[in-house]
Amino acid sequence: MDTTAKPQYDNGVVQYLTVGAVAFLVLGTFMGTFAAAQLAWPALNFDIAEITFARLRVMHTNTVIYAFGGMTLMATAFYTVQRTNGVKLWSNAMAWWTAILFTIGLLAVVVTISLGMTTGKEYHEQEWPLAIAIAVVWTLYTFNFMMTIASRNKETHPNVYVSNWFFMGMMIAITYLYVVNGLAIPVSLFRSYSLFSGVQDAMIQWWWGHNAVGFFLTAGFLAIMYYFVPKQAQRPIYSYRLSVIHFWALMFGYVWLGAHHLQYTALPDWTGSLGAVISLAMIIPSWGGALNGMLTLSGAWDRLRTDYILRFLIIALAFYAMSTFEGPVMASKTVNALSHYTDWTIGHVHSGALGWVAMVSIGALYHMVMKLWNTEMYSMKLINFHFWLATIGTVFYIVAMWVSGIMQGLMWRAYDEYGTLAYTFAESVAAMHPYYAMRALGGLLFFSGAAVMLYNVVMTIRMANAKSTSQVEAHA
Amino acid sequence: MSNLEQHLGTDWSAMTGQDWAGLIITVLVFFGMLITFWLTLRPSKRKELEEEKYKILKDD
């Protein structure tokens, strides 16, 4: 028996999902940049209903969250579950069906939203037939992942590595949150009404909405962090015990936060207070997790000079720490009174989305491309160039929104000596223009980085394929 | 009744089924977290848990 042979894994579906994720990153950031430009220069709506801001913004969020984020989660989950458990996927065919149906479903979501078909529920705009289809695909993904873990050799792999726990937590939570929030009464093929009404509907919506952030965009991407940071750094995670605490604190705590989106509304006051208090408490595990990732580099910080992929992963953790501090502060009633309904919220979301989710994904995707095609990247310099485009773009974006948001909040609450509002709403909109232009520039930089990544990945795959073809010919 | 008693007091007879469900879940989660901390952080588990982190470095 050849004990030196490398283990064989199902890589085809992971390769498909990896390339798909990069392509959707380019498409989604293009939509976002275009939508940002429309806010700065409204003529860019071109009076075309399908691409007006109201629809384009939702197409953007669905593309980046579900298409890019979802494909990244599927690619990394299928990649890591095989390696951490020393076994192939339970069903490679089911994984392929999952990947292809997910792609078709997401394209259908983007098209139907552009045609104006929407439930109007934030991050759950898909109308009922597509929502059911997505829930079924998600269940296939979850089932296959869990069965892969269950089919491992318990003698060689008695325990399940922590990244798998984060993936499973995300899968279970998103399944019940998505299904409950989506409960609706269909009245036609593309029209339905929520089963809940009034403030209950709002509470269920934000129970889902914040947990889409907490589980889909945090727990899932922490799973990525707990596997890819140690692998790329070639050092074990700083503390395994801290990762276990991080996991359980996140699972127990996150589901309570949603009500902080509804401060000063018809929701009972204590509910918002509870959401704010638990939000503040969540700083502790979040920072514990961020430090756990960063301290993995203890004694090897010089690696950041030369390893551009590691830079993506580590700066993602810095943004994770920053946005998990900013979020609870914004949840507190005093700050929320100023920040709510302003662009500060948009800035906060993007420090998490661009700085944390996209950066950690990009690092993991570059890592997987090299492993899956068994090659070096076409250009490491382009990865460095991408890193700076993404970092500067993110900073431009969030600084613009911080200034814009705080200015909005202050203008809206300013009174004159007679007790009337000092500014009209239109005046506050006009004051935003320079910051909206700056935001569009930040988005353009980030999108350019994504385009550079797509080029680099495509050239890497072409290079690897040409190399393997020439090797086959040499053997023949 | 002092302010503190008024603030912390509960009208138990007014508790609905949902209130009780929420209360029980909250208390269970609290104890769940305590148990997790105890199971994870006790010194005797340190070696066993920390060994897990080295395994992924040689998985491919």
Residues A256-314: tens digit of each pLDDT: 889 999 999 999 888 899 899 999 999 999 999 999 999 999 888 999 999 999 999 99
pLDDT, one tens digit per residue, over A58-105 is: 999 999 999 999 999 999 999 999 999 999 999 999 999 999 999 999
Establish if B59 touches chain A: CB-CB under 8 angstroms.
Answer: yes
Rounded to an integer, the average pLDDT of A325-351 is 96
Inspect the interface and report whether the beta carbons of A236 and B57 lie closer than 8 Å.
yes
CB contacts, 8 Å: B59 with chain A: 7, 83-84, 86
What pTM, to 2 d.p., does this model score?
0.94
Name the residue with higher pLDDT: A3 or A265.
A265
Inspect the interface and report whether the beta carbons of A248 and B53 lie closer than 8 Å.
no
The three-state DSSP-derived secondary structure of A207-230 is HHHHHHHHHHHHHHHHHHHHHHHH
Which pLDDT band holds residue B10 (cuts at 50, 70, 90)?
confident
Inspect the interface and report whether the beta carbons of B53 and A227 lie closer than 8 Å.
no
**Which residue from A311, A318, A316 is spatially nearest to A359, judged by alpha carbons?**
A316
A230: closest chain B residue by CA: B57
Torsions phi, psi for A84 (to 5 deg): -75, -20
Establish if A84 touches chain B: CB-CB under 8 angstroms.
Answer: yes
Tell me the nearest-neighbour CA distance from A339 into chain B, angstroms.
29
Inspect the interface and report whether the beta carbons of A240 and B52 lie closer than 8 Å.
yes
pLDDT of B60 reads 72
Establish if B11 touches chain A: CB-CB under 8 angstroms.
Answer: no
pLDDT of A1 reads 43
What is chain A's percent helix, strand, coil content, to nearest 5? 80, 0, 20
Distance CA A116, CA A59 (A): 10
Establish if A295 touches chain B: CB-CB under 8 angstroms.
Answer: no
Chain centroid to CA A344? 19
Average pLDDT, chain A: 95
Q: Provide the strand spans (E) within A144-214.
A: 184-188, 191-194
Who contacts A67 (Cβ-Cβ below 8 Å, separation ≥6)?
A: A20, A24, A27, A28, A106, A110
| Residues A325/A283, Cβ–Cβ less than 8 Å | yes
